[in-house]
Structure formats: structure tokens, C-alpha cells
Amino acid sequence: MKQITFINGRDIPMELHRPVIVQKINLNPIEDRKKAIEGAGFNTFLLNTESIFLDMLTDSGTNAMSNNQLAAMMQADEAYAGSSSFKRLEKSVCHFFNKKLFLPVHQGRAAEHILAQTFVKKGDVIPMNFHFTTTRAHIEFVGGKVEELIVDEVFKTKSKELFKGNMDIKKLTQCIERVGKDKIPFIRMEVTTNLTGGQPVSLDNIRKVKEVAKKWHIPVVIDACLIAENAWFIKTREKGCEDMSIQEIIHAISECGDIIYFSGRKLGAARGGGIITNTNEHFMKMRAFIPLFEGFLTYGGMSTKEIEALAVGLNEFTDETVISQMPRFIQHVVTELEKKHVPVVTPAGALGVHIDAKKFLPHINQKQYPAGALVAALFLISGIRGMERGTISTDRDITTKQEVPAELELIRLAVPRRVFSLSHMEFLIDRMVWLFKNRDLIGGLTFTEEPTVLRFFFGRLKPVSNWPEKLIAQFKKDFGEMSL
């Protein structure tokens, strides 16, 4: 499908929807933002939304719902068991993934919890292209270990490789030979890889992973949180796939997975989540845990309204004009930032714009968390809330308790689906370029409170010097005393 989005010869992403309900947001004075970030221990997770202008923390649960999703919520059939809303979701999920058996869960990590409880035991190894924070935490919680086998190219933040989420097939074979198949309950593929910048996996790669797995009789688990956007990248970047529909590509990916799970907070622009399989034995084992951890089998921790919204949302996510908006907005920002030499992760991926904080702030040692400092500085000068995806997001080594400097020290500016306008993106570009020009003023951070697991959620930090004051002084000089 051709996108009619050229304006004066420039490739401008166009919103193929119109807002019919809006929510007011505020751009507060910089002094208010200083108080807010101090109150939040320089951790953007601890900010309150009243102090935020553009919330680019995540695309999880923050996507705009369509009129059809809202309408569907009105037909929710409230019942503890046997709700017809669940039947509608089950049909929609099974159609979306072309599989037969579905278990509902309250969100993505709940699926990871069930998978870890069902399949992983102490000493097991789970090979994967790349970990996600909650995945790793659940696997380690039951005594398993994660092995990342992603292609090396991913660690080059500036690259032309179109599928940096791919698994290195040679590394996979070596891993199975070394660890032994009996210690590998499953191989996990995340499409796209969240922590490396939303980088897609090619259809060819996931098929090769399945081939290897089949040879060794190891199940493949697919984390499908961003499968729709990954399908869009396959369609637009992979040779031979340009004429496939998004739904056909999703089915082709799905065919490679013995078990698939997803978060409905991302996929389907609603809430909730699920686990899908065709294998009765896997289904029965996992099913036992649903009433224990989630709720009865016909709601799995979701409200019936969420169930209805998800059933419709999944269908919308097979529409190219719906799912292309996020990656095209990201591409636009990445292109503009690259022109101004801001070290942005390329090629543009899904989920959000990712900035390489190691290159942005080479004067800050990783022990003083450059990505954490950059995301705090951006909030200070713009009211834009992003997320640290670097050393703070990497917990200390579980045995040695030593810091693990993250290979990729990124900040992520998520672009939730159907939420922002292009002027919001232009504001982000403008403030990011200003920050880059004044990067020398930014200093590091140090922990004042450090939780042991998933420390990025609740940890509190403080600046190592008075750099925020210096940054504010420069901001006022350039933008004027009264400027926001």
C-alpha cells in the first residue's frame, strides 16, 4: 500500500486517524520540573503525570483506543465464568495468531511468570535473542539463566543492518551443544527486541531458529508484544515479503512458535495479555496456574471491558495504516536528529526513539549512569518523560552483586500508538538538539536508595554535582527567563 504522505517533496508521516476525545496536557515552568525531578529521586518512573508534558516513558497501556474499541467495551458481559466477552477475545486471538488454544493473563509479565513456573527449573538455560527486564527477572527467580545470542551488529548503535533483532544462528547451535538440550526448556524470540531499540527480527531468521529448535526437539517461545510492528518491518524491509499482508506475516511468524505470549498493553492497544499454543500438553500444564495466579480461565485477571477492547484492538493491529504510524513517527524523529548529529540508534526501530547516551555524554562514566542523567536532563528542559534503558535498568550480578555496565546505554522515548501529533515530535527534536549542544553541562547520578531487583522502577538517585542548576541557567539564557 502506498502512503500518501509527501508534503512539498518531504516524506512526512501522516496521522491516519482523528482525535475524537482529547486529554489536556500542561507544559509547566522549568522550576516546577526541577522540584518534580528532585521529588522523584531523578528517576522518571517516580514522576507524577501532572508535571509531565509529553509522556514518552512507554507504549505500554498508554495507546489511544479507537471508537470501535470504546464501543465494544459497552457490550462487556460481566460474569466470573463463561462470559461471552471471553469467547469473543478467544476467537480474535486465535484468528490473529492462527492457533487453537488460548490462556488469558492480566499482562505480559504474568505470561512470563506462568512460563517460568511451568517450564524452568534451577540450572536451566534459556537462549534468546535478547532479554527483557521482566522476562529475565522471572527466569532468574526460579533459578534459570538467560543466554543472549543476538547478532553482534546490534551493539553498533549506528548501523545499516535492517534486522538487528536477529538471533545469531551459529551462536544458538554452539549454545545448545555446550549446555545440552535437556537443560534448555525453550528458546525465546522477542519480536522486536525492546531493550536494544525495538529492533526487528526477519522472517528468514525466525524460520532458521525454528529449524534448529526442531532438530533438537526444543520448543520455541515467541514474545509477541510488538509482533505487528515487526511484521510491518518485514513487509517494508525484507526481500520477498513486500506483497504479503500484515496478517499473513504475523501468521508466518506465529507458525515458528510452539508457544506465543503477549502483553495487551502494547499489542491490541488495550490491557491484559495472553498465552497461545497448539500443543495440548503445554496448554494443560500452563492452564493449571491460571486460576492460581491470574483468575478464572474466562478472564485471567482482565476486566471484561478490557477483554472486549483487546478483541477489537487485535483486529485493528492487522491494518497497515494503524500499525505503521508508530514506526513512521519514530523514523521521522530519527532522520531529523541524525541530520543534527545527535547520536540516535539507527536504523529506526519500533517502540520509540533511542538515543545512545554513551556517545551523547562521553564524559560521564557508566558508574554514574549517563542514560539516567540524560533522561533526567531531558525532562528538566522539556517536560518530556523518557526511560533509562542502560546500566540502571541492568540489575547487579545476582551472585557477585557487582554493577554490570550495560553494553547499550540508551534512553528511550516511546511513541505510544495514535497519541502524539507531529508538532509534539518537532518539539522533541528541537529540545533534544538544544540538549546536545549543551551536553557538557550534564553530569552524572548516584544512587541514594537501590532496590536489589528491577531497581530502575523504584530506585532513587541524586546528581553528583550541581549540574541541574547550571543546565537551568543556560536554558533561561537561551530561551528567556519566562520561557517554559
* Residue ranges that bind ligand F0G, judged by CB under 6 A: 58, 60, 107-109, 132, 134-135, 190, 194, 223, 225, 263, 265, 273
Residue 354: phi and psi, rounded to 5, are -115, 130
Nearest-approach distance from CB 258 to ligand F0G, in angstroms: 17
Q: How far apart are CA 214 and CA 257, in angstroms?
A: 11
Q: Which of 44, 118, 133, 346 is catalytic?
A: 133
CA torsion, ordered 100, 103, 107, 110, to nearest 10 deg: -120
Q: Which of 266, 385, 412, 455 is catalytic?
A: 266
Q: Which of 109, 389, 412, 431 is catalytic?
A: 389
Question: Is 261 tagged catalytic?
Answer: no
> Nine-digit cell at 170?
551459529
Quick check: helix, strand or coil at residue 170?
A: helix
Nearer to ligand F0G, 5 or 134 (CB): 134
Nearer to ligand F0G, 30 or 222 (CB): 222
State the alpha helices, DSSP H only, in 74-168.
Answer: 84-97, 108-119, 133-141
Nearest-approach distance from CB 442 to ligand F0G, in angstroms: 24
Nearer to ligand F0G, 303 or 335 (CB): 303
Nearest-approach distance from CB 175 to ligand F0G, in angstroms: 21
Nearest-approach distance from CB 256 to ligand F0G, in angstroms: 17
> Nine-digit cell at 398?
545476582
Nearest-approach distance from CB 78 to ligand F0G, in angstroms: 23
Q: Which of 18, 80, 239, 243 is catalytic?
A: 80
Q: What is residue 397's DSSP assignment?
A: P
Nearer to ligand F0G, 108 or 443 (CB): 108
Question: Is 132 tagged catalytic?
Answer: yes
Nearer to ligand F0G, 263 or 277 (CB): 263
Nearest-approach distance from CB 230 to ligand F0G, in angstroms: 11
Which amino acid is located at 166 in the chain?
N
Nearest-approach distance from CB 191 to ligand F0G, in angstroms: 9
Nearer to ligand F0G, 197 or 347 (CB): 197
For residue 193, list its beta bridge partners. Answer: 199
Residue 113: phi and psi, rounded to 5, are -60, -50
Question: Is 49 tagged catalytic?
Answer: no
Q: Which of 55, 59, 223, 258 is catalytic?
A: 223
Max Cα distance, the chain (Å): 67
Question: Is 80 tagged catalytic?
Answer: yes
Nearer to ligand F0G, 263 or 318 (CB): 263
Long-range contacts formed by 214-218: CB under 8 A, 24+ apart = 216/176, 216/181, 216/184, 217/181, 218/176, 218/181, 218/184, 218/185, 218/186, 218/187
Residue 455: phi and psi, rounded to 5, are -65, -25
Nearer to ligand F0G, 148 or 223 (CB): 223
Question: Is 389 tagged catalytic?
Answer: yes
Nearest-approach distance from CB 308 to ligand F0G, in angstroms: 18
Q: Which of 119, 317, 379, 456 is catalytic?
A: 456
Distances 327 to 323, 350, 416 between C-alpha atoms, Å: 8, 5, 10
Residue located via cell numbers 535478547: 130
Q: How far apart are CA 291 and CA 340, in angstroms?
A: 53
Please classify residue 362 by burial: count the beta carbons closer than 10 Å to its beta carbon, then call 0-12 exposed, 13-18 middle and 19+ buried. exposed
CA torsion, ordered 454, 465, 412, 159, to nearest 10 deg: -110
Q: Which of 86, 130, 132, 329 is catalytic?
A: 132
Question: Is 271 tagged catalytic?
Answer: no
Shortest-Cβ-distance residue relative to ligand F0G: 108
CB-CB contact of 77 with 89 (8 Å): no
Distances 164 to 50, 388, 432 between C-alpha atoms, Å: 37, 20, 25
Nearer to ligand F0G, 263 or 304 (CB): 263
Nearest-approach distance from CB 465 to ligand F0G, in angstroms: 30
> Nine-digit cell at 369?
549512569
Q: What is residue 196's DSSP assignment?
A: G
Closest CA to 76 of 294, 303, 264, 274: 303
Enzyme catalytic residues: 80, 132-133, 223, 266, 389, 456
